[in-house]
Structure 1
Amino acid sequence: MIWRNGRLDFAAAQSRAASSTARARALATRYPASYVCWDVLQHPDPAIGDCRHLPYTERRAFLLELLADVGPPIQVTPATDDRDVAVLWYNALREQGIEGIVCKRGSAGYPSGQRRWLKVRHADTVDALVLGFTGPGSDPTISSWRWATRAGRPGCRGAWSPSARVGEVSSGAVVVGEQRAEGESYTRVGADLVVEVLAGSGRHGTLIVTRMR
């Protein structure tokens, strides 16, 4: 997590990940990051080992114990079992860039490969799979990309201002060939690139992408 201009900046963290080594170091000096831990899946004690089958409350206790003597920039994410506190966080921390809260059952194990947690966001989002692009693929900053939601609804054309980031990730993807959707041709790629888009956007041809998965 990166704190920038008085709020958390998720885009800055993504930019760091997409940067060259030299640029990443420069960004780290200018905008240092914190590593916020929210779970422990493998305990360093061989007698405990794999923790995924344990209830979240036990994993949380292990996490607090493991990081008890470790200070910032490594820290544990806040958690509470008090609904009033959770509601206060949800309402009060929005100004700082917190997009919502995650609700987990204290008795539940870690759902490997599944999503069993409830995300309560200030804005609803859906996952979309990047199918390909229209326009010149050699210049992803001006390309428009084709999307399809995970629910399998038809893709729609969407311009995304940080499209260069999508281009960087999918530049090595295999080109499947030319496809058509809604009467328009686009270049299909084989990248398994998932993005998060605002629910309801895309109705008029423009998708609002909030982040890459």
Structure 2
Amino acid sequence: MTARVEVALARSVDALPAGTDWAFEPKFDGHRMVVIREDGDVVLQARSGRLVARAFPDLVSAALALPAGTVLDGEVVVWHDGRTDFAAVQRRAAAASGARARALARELPASYAAFDLLADGGGDLRRRPYAERRARLVGMLGPLGPPLQAVPSTTDRETALTWYETLPERGIEGLVAKRVGDPYPGGRRGWLKLRHSDTRDAVVVGYTGSSRGPRALVVVLPGDGTPVLTTPLPTGLRGEAGRVLPRGDGGEAVVTAVGVGEVAYRVLPEEGRPVLEVRQRSTRHGAFSAEAVRFR
């Protein structure tokens, strides 16, 4: 496999699927990352394809224990007071120098929650069924232990629903459902995700500020054609937005922002508009605003 891995995606659903051919996993609140163990080296790839090993020296060191030819898919998380801390992961990912990254690795050690095994010993497993990939993943990571660990998984729907109700206090966003017989759906929304109601996927239709470092994004939620301006983007997300927003100019439009009024923004071309996870907020007047969380 090459260093550029096209990761599997998930589409949002309102309920867990029924039936006996599904596996359910907790959805951790972290940054998507592919770990590639090469001969004598480790490559860490973000969902966008950007190489991020420099920011996570602790995970590079841990991944050296993997057999050469291993490729993992998962989330990098930081635990704080017994729950995942997304802001801490953002700080880790934004480390601009090796010295800063090493200091943050000591202050905010990362863990890797692996949920798929894409290659083993150089053999591509993406066409193999999930159940086989899962078994091999657990067999590989079990003897190693933290900070590389397989996420929990169950085929029992009632257990999954219990997780959904009880794990949010630990920073778990929801659940991902995967058919046990399916291959790895790289580049497709072949998995299902059930998230708690305060987060939703939205299509980015525009931005304010510079296209290479937007101040805020304009999004449209599923089933609602009304544009909504997000709250100002944190520094790390501005940089990511500058990398994933499609180039081109669709003109200028105006969005009405809560507490601000009319705001002019640049419209993105329809081709290649990215999907952004937003956290919903309601004001005391019943209006809606959105906090950008991450690109999907």
Verify same fold: TM over 0.5: yes
Quickly say closer, same or farther: Cα 1:179–1:201, change in 2 above 3 A: farther
Secondary structure of the 1:42 match is strand
Question: 1:83/1:169 Cα in 2 relative to 1: closer, same or farther (>3 Å)?
Answer: closer
Looking at structure 2, the residues matched to 171 and 17 of structure 1 have their Cα atoms a distance apart, in angstroms, of 15
Tell me which residue corresponds to 1:39.
Answer: 116
Alignment CA distance shift 1:127-1:201 (3 Å): farther
* Rounded Cα–Cα distance in structure 1 between residues aligned with 2:100 and 2:275: 25
The alignment status of 1:108 with 2:108, answered yes or no, reads no
Alignment of 1:95-174 (within 5 A): 95-123=169-197, 124-129=199-204, 131-134=206-209, 137=210, 143-148=215-220, 153=225, 155-160=227-232, 162-171=233-242
Structure 1: give runs of 5+ residues left out of the alignment: none
Does the 8 A contact of 2:204 with 2:217 survive in 1?
no
* Residue 276 (structure 2) aligned to one of 180, 195, 201: 195
Q: 1:163 to 1:188 in 2, by over 3 A?
A: farther
Q: Is the Cα contact below 8 Å between 1:126 and 1:199 reproduced in 2?
A: no
Give the structure 2 partner of residue 28 of structure 1: 105
Out of 115, 119, 134, the residue aligned to residue 60 of structure 1 is 134
| Structure 2 match to 1:179 | 252
The CA deviation at 1:85 is: 1.9
Deviation for aligned residue 1:58:
0.7
| CA gap 1:199/1:107 in 2 versus in 1, 3 angstroms | farther
How far apart are the structure 2 equivalents of 1:43 and 1:83? 29
- Residue 13 (str. 1) matches residue 89 (str. 2): yes
Q: Which runs of 4+ in 1 moved over 6 A?
A: 189-192, 199-203
1:100 Cα shift? 1.0
Give the whole-Å Cα distance in 2 for the aligned partners of 1:40 and 1:151: 35
Unmatched 5+ stretches in structure 2: 1-76, 256-261
Q: Percent identity?
A: 36
2:231 touches 2:292 (CA, 8 Å); kept in 1? no
**What is the alpha-carbon distance in structure 2 between the residues aligned to residue 171 and residue 119 of structure 1?**
26
SS at match of 2:116: coil
Q: What is the CA–CA distance in structure 1 between the aligned matches of 2:91 and 2:273, rounded to whole Å?
A: 20
Deviates more, 1:50-59 or 1:183-192: 183-192
How far 1:99 sits from its partner (Å)? Answer: 1.1
**Which one of 77, 80, 83 corresponds to residue 4 of structure 1?**
80
Q: Which moved more, 1:123-132 or 1:8-17?
A: 123-132
After TM superposition, the structure 1 stretch with the greater mean CA deviation from structure 2, 172-181 or 203-212, is: 172-181
Please give the alpha-carbon distance, in whole angstroms, between the structure 2 residues aligned to 1:35 and 1:193: 25
Aligned residues: 205
More helix by share: 1
Q: TM-score, normalised by structure 1?
A: 0.78
- What CA deviation, in whole Å up to 9, does each residue of 1:4-43 have, x standing for no partner? 1331112221221122123332221111111111111122
One-letter amino acid matched to 1:37 = A
The answer to whether the 8 Å contact 1:155/1:181 transfers is no
Higher relative contact order (CA 8 A, sep 6+): 2
Contact 1:175/1:189, CA 8 A, preserved across alignment = yes
Cα distance, 1:109 vs structure 2:
1.3
